[in-house]
């Protein structure tokens, strides 16, 4: 799962009393890695506790047990049916206070990675052919997570759930309910509201009066857009370019109501009992075609119905991958 991050690190002058970066010999160490399943090295820059500022140092000083910061890339966005292809963790420890270097595993999911997922994280099936399965590395990952709380960005909705599902499949005990979770995205959205009032204050420096009145909101949206053009010099000024930017977050879906999502450039159901099933398969099954007739008789949006009508006459809509997302060879 790819997540955007922003913001600089607070600075703190180094002093004789600065907390150590790594644990002393007496602090708990992870279990040894076997030669065939050792995590991959990483080039990501690791900040020190000092780099992260005095408030973070206070956070670590108050820890009673380690906190695992982690992120997962997967074959898709369904935490119950998709599979992990990459996992990275950074352990932060209580006094004497330490941050371990990142540990990153690539995992062979033994299932095809849809093109749309590879376009996001850049990991293809060929990259994982010689990597271990999740079951091979699960014991050492579980050992790192043992007795630790969890932290990351947007992990509550996806990363925690897919990790728990993977552990369950291989019979490793991992109960998220026994752990506390710190989700930076929830904190971000709580403290930095993403609404028109906040946008007008951010981009134009003024309060929105009569919020949720159509006229005031319309004028405010005009001002916000003008402020965005002024602030971001690389933002296109042409309508076509602005449309491409505005619709980018919907590229994973085939229709406006998100009833279908793309998988390997063909529509897949994104709801109901057919969720996760390819439209091509449903349309080809005589017993399931009645589900498509039910869909066409229902109160679904017309663009979604058009996709189904095409499928029922043997025409499966195809997504054209962007040139920028094609993997260089």
| pLDDT tens-digit readout, 25-60 | 333 444 334 334 456 645 568 899 999 999 999 999
- The helix (H) or strand (E) run that includes residue 99 is strand 98-99
Mean pLDDT, rounded, of the chain: 83
Q: What is the pLDDT of residue 77?
A: 86
DSSP 8-class letter at 169: H
17 pLDDT band (50/70/90 cuts)? very low
- Single pTM value for the model: 0.68
Average of per-residue pLDDT across 223-247: 87
List, for residues 113-132, the tens digit of each pLDDT value.
Answer: 998 899 889 999 999 999 99
CB distance 270 to 260 below 8 Å: yes
Q: CA 305, 311, 312, 314 torsion: positive or negative?
A: positive
**Residue 324: pLDDT band with limits 50, 70, 90:** very low
The closest of 197, 148, 205 to 174, measured between CA atoms, is 148
Question: Is residue 294's pLDDT more than 90?
Answer: yes
Whether a cis peptide bond, with omega within 30° of 0, leads into 96 is yes
Confidence of residue 299 (pLDDT cuts 50, 70, 90): confident
- Element (H or E) spanning 85, and its range? strand 84-93
pLDDT of the residue at 14:
29
| Per-residue pLDDT band at 104 (split at 50, 70, 90) | very high
Q: Up-side HSE of residue 107: CA atoms within 13 Å toward CB?
A: 24
Give the pLDDT band (50/70/90) at residue 15: very low
Residue 204, pLDDT above cutoff 80: yes
Q: What percent of the chain is modeled with pLDDT above 70?
A: 83
**In whole angstroms, what is the distance from residue 286 CA to residue 279 CA?**
13
pLDDT of 54 reads 93
pLDDT of residue 196: 93
Sign of the four-CA dihedral 120, 150, 165, 79? negative
pLDDT > 80? residue 182: yes
Model confidence pLDDT, tens digit, residues 303-320: 899 999 999 999 999 987
Six token digits for residue 303: 């663009």
Whether residue 7 has pLDDT greater than 90: no
| Selection from 269, 270, 272, 271 nearest residue 282 by Cα | 269
Q: What is the model's pLDDT at position 32?
A: 36
Delineate the domains of the chain, giving CATH numbers in brackets.
54-187 (3.30.420.10), 196-250 (no CATH), 260-320 (no CATH)
Q: In the chain, pLDDT over 90 holds for what percent of residues?
A: 54
The segment with the largest mean pLDDT, out of 42-46, 248-252, 294-298, is: 294-298
């Amino acid at each position: 799962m790819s997540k955007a991050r922003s913001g600089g690190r607070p600075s703190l002058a180094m002093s004789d009393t600065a907390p150590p970066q790594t644990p002393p010999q007496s602090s708990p160490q992870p279990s040894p890695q076997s030669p065939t399943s050792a995590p991959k090295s990483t080039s990501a820059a690791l900040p020190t506790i000092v780099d992260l500022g005095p408030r973070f140092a206070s956070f670590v000083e108050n820890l009673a047990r380690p906190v695992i910061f982690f992120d997962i890339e997967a074959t898709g966005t369904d935490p119950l049916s998709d599979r992990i292809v990459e996992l990275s963790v950074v352990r932060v420890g209580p006094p004497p206070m330490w941050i371990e270097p990142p540990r990153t595993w690539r995992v062979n999911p033994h299932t095809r990675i849809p093109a749309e997922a590879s376009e996001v994280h850049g990991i293809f099936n060929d990259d994982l052919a010689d990597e271990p399965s999740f079951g091979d590395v699960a014991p050492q990952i579980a050992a790192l997570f043992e007795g630790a709380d969890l932290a990351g960005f947007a992990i509550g909705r996806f990363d925690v759930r897919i990790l728990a599902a993977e552990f369950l499949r291989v019979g490793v005990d991992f109960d998220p309910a026994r752990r506390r979770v710190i989700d930076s995205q929830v904190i971000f959205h709580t403290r930095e509201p993403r609404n028109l009032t906040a946008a007008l204050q951010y981009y134009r420096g003024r309060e929105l009066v009569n919020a949720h009145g159509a006229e005031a909101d319309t004028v405010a949206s005009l001002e916000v857009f003008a402020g965005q053009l002024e602030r971001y010099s690389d933002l296109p000024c042409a309508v076509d370019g602005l449309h491409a930017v505005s619709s980018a977050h919907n590229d994973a879906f085939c229709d406006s109501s998100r009833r279908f999502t793309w998988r390997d450039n063909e529509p897949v159901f994104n709801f109901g009992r057919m969720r996760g099933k390819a439209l091509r398969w449903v349309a080809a099954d005589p017993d399931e075609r009645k589900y498509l007739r039910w869909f066409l008789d229902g109160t679904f949006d017309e663009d979604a119905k058009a996709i189904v009508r095409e499928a029922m006459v043997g025409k499966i809509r195809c997504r054209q991958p962007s040139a920028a997302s094609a993997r260089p060879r």
